[in-house]
């Protein structure tokens, strides 16, 4: 059962950082608390979706600044150190500043077929509020058709929200997700075991954050500020181009 739990929860990490009708549904869900252990609050939707799946949400506070949390969550080169069964993680296309199409594949435990996910991720940084928001959902892309031997999982929607708290020494984390692993995993199993993944995920994340060789790449948010300046310049250039046409 532990192997099944690990397999089920990786779907969220495939697109970590989790704008359609499905996104609106996730935002409007009425939540009920499932558990509160180790400073990790887990919630489930009061009613199952028409697919039979039950969306999940988790809250916690990490004892690390938001810049270091961002470092770990966005470092694709080290995700295999803490994301279970991750085989491949790559960006297929950078759509715009802060907008990506990412691919990830996983080695699933027997008797399940291997899974992969192809998702769109849009991130927004608010320097003044010291917060980061990301939305995630599945897409298709000509460069990444379905692969033989893999079941393409589907992320209906996902939200990730990070906020700097306690004088920038800690990070509030809120993640909600709504995934379908498809294939031969019964939905009742998914609904049962996914409620247990938040403690495992947060524990793995805490462990990675604690490693001495994890260097805070976004310290003082200088890289984020540079990103925002580039994004503003890009948007102005796009508007000028649109005006000329």
Q: What is the CA radius of gyration of the chain?
A: 18
If you average pLDDT over each of 64-78, 90-104, 165-179, 187-201, which comes out highest? 165-179
Among the residue ranges 15-24, 163-172, 203-212, the one predicted with the least confidence is 15-24
Q: Which helix (H) or strand (E) holds 206?
A: helix 197-210
Could you read off the pLDDT of 199-227 as tens digits, one per residue? 888 999 999 999 999 989 877 556 666 66
The pair of structure tokens assigned to 180 is 């379908």
Given a cut of 80, whether residue 106 has pLDDT beyond it is yes
**How many domains does the chain divide into?**
1
The answer to whether the beta carbons of residues 24 and 159 sit under 8 Å apart is no
- Sequence length of the chain is 245
Question: Which pLDDT band, with edges at 50, 70 and 90, does 139 fall under?
Answer: very high
Provide the domain limits for residue 71.
Answer: 2-244
Torsion of CA 192, 123, 67, 179, to 10 degrees: 10
Could you read off the pLDDT of 36-48 as tens digits, one per residue? 999 999 999 888 7
DSSP 208: H
Treating both helix axes as pointing N-terminal to C-terminal, what angle do 66-74 and 197-210 enclose, rounded to 10 degrees? Answer: 100
The pTM for the full model equals: 0.79
The answer to whether the beta carbons of residues 228 and 127 sit under 8 Å apart is yes
The pLDDT > 70 percentage for the chain reads: 78
CATH code of the domain in which 220 resides: 3.30.530.20
User: Distance between CA 220 and CA 234 in Å, rounded?
Assistant: 23
Terminal CA-to-CA distance of the chain, rounded, Å? Answer: 58
**Cβ neighbours of residue 102 closer than 8 Å, sequence gap 6 or more:** 14, 15, 89, 90, 91, 92, 118, 119, 121
Token look-up 């506070």 returns 61
What is the reported pLDDT for 211? Answer: 96
What is the reported pLDDT for 231? Answer: 64
């Amino acid at each position: 059962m532990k192997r099944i739990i690990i397999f089920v929860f990786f779907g969220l990490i495939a697109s970590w950082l989790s704008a359609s009708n499905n996104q609106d549904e996730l935002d409007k869900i009425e939540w009920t608390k499932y558990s509160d252990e180790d400073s990790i609050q887990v919630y489930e939707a009061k009613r199952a979706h028409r697919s039979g799946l039950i969306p999940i949400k988790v809250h916690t506070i990490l004892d690390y600044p938001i810049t270091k949390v961002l470092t770990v969550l966005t470092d694709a080169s080290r995700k295999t150190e803490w994301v279970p069964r991750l085989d491949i993680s790559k960006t297929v296309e950078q759509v715009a500043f802060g907008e990506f199409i990412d691919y990830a594949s996983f080695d699933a435990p027997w008797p399940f077929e291997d899974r992969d996910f192809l998702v769109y991720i849009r991130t927004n940084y608010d320097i003044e509020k010291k917060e980061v928001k990301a939305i995630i959902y599945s897409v298709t892309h000509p460069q990444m058709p379905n692969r033989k031997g893999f079941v393409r999982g589907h992320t209906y929607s996902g939200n990730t929200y990070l906020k700097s708290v306690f004088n920038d020494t800690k990070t509030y984390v809120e993640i909600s997700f709504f995934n379908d692993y498809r294939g031969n995993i019964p939905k009742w199993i998914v609904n049962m075991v996914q409620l247990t993944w938040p403690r495992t995920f947060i524990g793995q994340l805490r462990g990675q954050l604690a490693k001495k060789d994890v260097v805070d790449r976004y310290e003082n948010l200088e890289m984020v500020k540079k990103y925002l300046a580039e994004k503003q310049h890009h948007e102005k250039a796009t508007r000028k181009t649109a005006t000329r046409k």
